[in-house]
Amino acid sequence: MQPESQILFRLSQPRRGLYPQLLLAWVVIVIAAMGYCWAHSLVAGSLPHDGWVTVRWAALHWGAWPLLLPVCFWVIRRLQRRISGLLAIALGAPVAVIGSAAFAYAIDRLSGGQWDGLQALYYMTPVAGGTYLLFVMIAFWLLSPATLSASHEEIEVDAPGALLDVSTGTEDRRIRAEQIHWIRGARNYAELHTADAGYIMRSSLRELESLLSSEGFIRVHRSYLVNSQVLDTVALRDGSVVRLPGGVQVPVGRTYRSRVMQALSAVR
């Protein structure tokens, strides 16, 4: 059977420092928006530049996010326990849009504007929706994604060998490299699989290849590393697949077949 991912990416409980980093991103967005508004007034030249207009415009469109950020991510974390993470994110979008529209309506009224509720919702939907997706992507980048597996083995760490800091989804853990059978690159993360458990580590496959080459790991595909110490139980089929314990099959890329054959020769 082909290796199946045991990783489900989702928003985890925010670690210390997440919201300050998201607020920093919000500050950058507001400053960029104000800069755009100011530059537009200079280029258009139809109206004299008014600093108050710039501040009001930025506050109208993005001022709600310091309040919306914790609400949106709380909604996502609550929903994803019952449904998939992507669906939870989709259902969190109306919260962002409606919250932004309500805030914009209040700012418009307080500053002498004439928006009604439907106008605020109409104007804010694309802005709030795009900003919401941007913050979700930033949060995914900052947070360690959860690893949901059927089981997680307890691994002793007192034996010699490289130790890796990984996540199980509920806690961080250190595991020995020799316990790992195969590794797959997944975006900016890597999936690490032992005999009966899956973990995740924030590292590129290239970095792990450099780190673990001395531990006997070889690159067999642009997306896979395999522990050569388990190759004595692996069968090579037409030079395109290696079969690991448990019946897991890992593809072998054309450019990597020679090194796999060499590794097989070394362990036999």
pLDDT at position 46 is 55
pLDDT at position 45 is 61
- CATH T-level topology, domain 163-267: OB fold (Dihydrolipoamide Acetyltransferase, E2P) (2.40.50)
- Whether 155 has a pLDDT exceeding 60, the answer reads no
End-to-end CA distance of the chain: 24
CB atoms within 10 A of CB 180: 27
Beta bridge partners of 218: 226
pLDDT at position 157 is 39
Question: Residue 160 burial by CB count (10 A; 0-12/13-18/19+): exposed, middle or buried?
Answer: exposed
* Percentage of the chain modeled with pLDDT above 90: 10
Distance between CA atoms of residues 98 and 121, nearest Å: 7
User: Where does residue 49 fall: left (phi above 0), alpha (psi -120 to 50 degrees), or beta otherwise?
Assistant: beta
Q: What is the DSSP letter of 15?
A: P
Place of tokens 């004299």: 48
Q: What is the mean pLDDT of the chain?
A: 77
pLDDT at position 57 is 83
pLDDT at position 105 is 92
pLDDT at position 102 is 93
pLDDT, tens digit (0-9, with 9 covering 90-100), for 233-260: 566 656 677 777 777 888 888 888 887 7
Q: In the predicted model, what is the mean pLDDT of residues 178-197?
A: 84
Lowest average pLDDT, out of 7-11, 87-91, 257-261, goes to 7-11
| Domain parsing of the chain, residue ranges | 18-142, 163-267
- pLDDT band per the 50, 70, 90 thresholds, residue 41: confident
pLDDT at position 149 is 33
pLDDT, tens digit (0-9, with 9 covering 90-100), for 199-237: 888 888 888 888 888 888 888 888 899 888 887 556 665
pLDDT at position 169 is 64
pLDDT, tens digit (0-9, with 9 covering 90-100), for 89-112: 888 899 999 999 999 999 888 888
pLDDT at position 122 is 92
Place of tokens 């990984």: 166
pLDDT at position 246 is 72
- pLDDT band per the 50, 70, 90 thresholds, residue 48: low
pLDDT at position 256 is 83
Q: In the predicted model, what is the mean pLDDT of residues 64-70?
A: 90
